[in-house]
Amino acid sequence: MQKIDVVKHILRHTSLGSFFCGEGSAFAPSNVALCKYWGKRDLELNLPVTSSLSISLGNKGTFTKIKHEGTTDNYIVNGVVIGQEAQFAKRLKEFMDLFRPHGVHYLVEIDTNVPIAAGFASSACGFASLVQALNKLYDWRLDKKDLSILARLGSGSACRSLFEGFVEWQRGDNGDGMDSYGIKLECVWPELRIGMLMVSAEEKAISSRRAMQLTVETSPLYAAWPDQVAADLSNIRLALTRKDFNLLGEIAESNAISMHTTMWAAKPPIVYSLPETFAAIAKVQELRLAGIPVFFTQDAGPNLQLLFLVEHEEHVLRVFPELEVVLPFPDSNAVRLTLVDEHDVMVGSCEKLAAHIQGRLHRAFSVVILRKRDNNIEILLQQRSALKYHSANLWSNTCCGHPKPGEDIVAAAEERLREEMGFSVPLTELGKFHYQAKFPDVDLIENEIDHVLVGFSDLAALPFNVAEVQDYRWVDILELQKDLQCRPGQYTFWLSSVIELVQLKISNVF
Ligand code: DP6
């Protein structure tokens, strides 16, 4: 399968070039992989051997503006016109050809605040911003999943730069790569800092694309890489759930070291590190010995990215005064929960994961969408995504969420329904209940006053959000009650209480 076949498939409902808005522009953040993408199973489509996981770099990235203009393509990077013969221009033109209506030429203006081709993922944010700019230029109205797949065709790691925060690129299994794209993870970690340590701004001698392929083809150590990634990914997910910084740092650092070791064993050996790189690594180790938790990761280049927490920023800056500190979560107040007392009266607010680690009583809602089939009542269930912070993969009511401090519960629930299931209907509150549960596998505690809201719909196909939901189904409510008794392990802990309340009030509802 060729790139153009994927593009045609994704754009099958739009007619290429028939509508355009004059100009399209977009920003995308750069990203740093904490568990690396290293090795492709399909060179043409940039399909990876393994999944990978990254953190996006807030306001460090690329802004791209694109329009139809001239008789040949023109590419301008940070105000400088790039010659047609430059490797960069050739790669960009090849990508633009996938989308180009007959006879059209582009003016592409790229402004970036990350050094190009120096191992700071400039191509990742470049292609991610480019596909979003094209999406606007041609008014495709594609969702982030399809845009992530298109960005991957430009550069693998670009599929993660469509999102802010932590992002997992799921490798997928299909030959056409339609299941290989980035998914945003829920974890918000405002205290986290990434330090960009520039050792050399020179363009790297060997591209990551070439280095990756040489490693796969010639390194005897590569055979162990997929298993290492599987273990690292599950440890990083755990570290994010528990906000365990030492675990996160240790795994990210050892993953980067393993990646570089597989390269050293390639024939010929690929060595990106310079003496200055090793000198900086030694300083990181000294800091750790002095009790300051700071770790490094390194992409395909000599530069390092340091990981540390805000409380150690001053100390780290004293040792690395040239460090550029990035805040991956500049606006992190968004995910705060409403803390309540046992009468559901607001007593404060708290960051979402902290509330679940400490088991603090907070306000939540559960949405139930119903429909009538003959004389039976059916409920719309969702299967939670494999990436949810707790109760992953389990079947549950239509959707759940937390109102922000001061937010109206019904409005928040209607909005959440749209975000998760792709539609919204007016909701009515049925009642509320208090529940507490421990999730020992992830070390979290639920302690909520759960407001149950009901609404009606009969939609056959739902454009649900894959970051939250992996599947949905309609089920007869009486059948569900029986199955809840027989196979409780298939369902979320709170679903039976929600259904009990619905049953109790059902006569008021229909
Ligand atoms: C070391 O995404 O640049 O940064 O798909 O060939 O364009 P192509 O490769 P690219 O490789 C990135 C490699 C890495 C690790 C990572 O970002 O996961």
367 pLDDT band (50/70/90 cuts)? very high
Domain boundaries defined on the chain: 3-188, 208-326, 340-509
pLDDT score of 468 more than 80: yes
Q: Do domains 208-326 and 340-509 have the same CATH topology?
A: no
Q: Report the pLDDT value the prediction gives residue 466, as an integer from 0 to 100.
A: 79
What residues does ligand 1 touch, defined as CB less than 6 Å away? 33, 36-38, 46, 52, 121, 123-124, 155-157, 208-209, 299-300
What are the residue ranges of helices labelled H in 191-312?
208-218, 225-242, 245-264, 275-289
How far, in Å, is the centroid of ligand 1 from the Cα of 209? 7
- For residue 136, what are the CA distances in angstroms to 18, 22, 132, 139, 147? 13, 9, 6, 5, 11
Average pLDDT over residues 59-87: 90
Residues 6+ apart with CB under 8 A from 216: 39, 40, 49, 222
Amino acid type, 147: L
Q: Report the pLDDT value the prediction gives residue 42, as an integer from 0 to 100.
A: 97
Q: Does domain 208-326 have CATH number 3.30.70.890?
A: yes
| Best mutation site among 131, 212, 260 for ligand 1 pocket (most ligand atoms within 8 Å of CB) | 212
Distance CA 103, CA 303 (A): 41
How far, in Å, is the centroid of ligand 1 from the Cα of 48? 10
Q: Please identify, by atom number, the ligand 1 atom nearest to the C-alpha of residue 157.
A: 2
Q: Report the pLDDT value the prediction gives residue 183, as an integer from 0 to 100.
A: 96
405 pLDDT band (50/70/90 cuts)? confident
What are the residue ranges of helices labelled H in 71-164?
87-96, 122-137, 144-154
**CATH architecture of the domain with residue range 3-188:** 2-Layer Sandwich (3.30)
Lowest mean pLDDT among 74-78, 184-188, 460-464: 460-464
pLDDT in tens, 240-282: 999 999 999 999 999 999 999 999 999 999 999 999 999 999 9
- For residue 41, what are the CA distances in angstroms to 212, 213, 299, 331, 442? 11, 10, 20, 37, 32
59 pLDDT band (50/70/90 cuts)? confident
How far, in Å, is the centroid of ligand 1 from the Cα of 40? 10
Distance CA 458, CA 215 (A): 52
Q: Report the pLDDT value the prediction gives residue 324, as an integer from 0 to 100.
A: 87
How far, in Å, is the centroid of ligand 1 from the Cα of 162? 15
Q: Report the pLDDT value the prediction gives residue 20, as an integer from 0 to 100.
A: 64
pLDDT in tens, 159-182: 999 999 999 999 999 999 999 999
Residues 6+ apart with CB under 8 A from 18: none
Both tokens assigned to 135: 């999406």
Closest among 292, 324, 286 to 305, alpha carbons compared:
324
- Integer-rounded Cα Rg, in Å, for the chain is 25
356 pLDDT band (50/70/90 cuts)? confident
331 pLDDT band (50/70/90 cuts)? low
pLDDT in tens, 294-306: 999 999 999 999 9
How far, in Å, is the centroid of ligand 1 from the Cα of 464? 29
| Best mutation site among 157, 166, 261 for ligand 1 pocket (most ligand atoms within 8 Å of CB) | 157
The region, left, alpha or beta by phi > 0 then psi within -120 to 50, assigned to residue 459 is beta
Q: Please identify, by atom number, the ligand 1 atom nearest to the C-alpha of residue 121.
A: 4
CATH number of the structural domain 340-509: 3.90.79.10
Question: CA 425 from chain center: how many Å?
Answer: 28
Angle at Cα 119 formed by Cα 290 and Cα 170, nearest 5°? 95
Residue 291 sits at φ, ψ, to 5 deg, of: 90, 10
pLDDT score of 186 more than 90: no
pLDDT in tens, 114-164: 876 555 567 899 999 999 999 999 999 999 999 999 999 999 999 999 999
| Best mutation site among 34, 37, 87 for ligand 1 pocket (most ligand atoms within 8 Å of CB) | 37
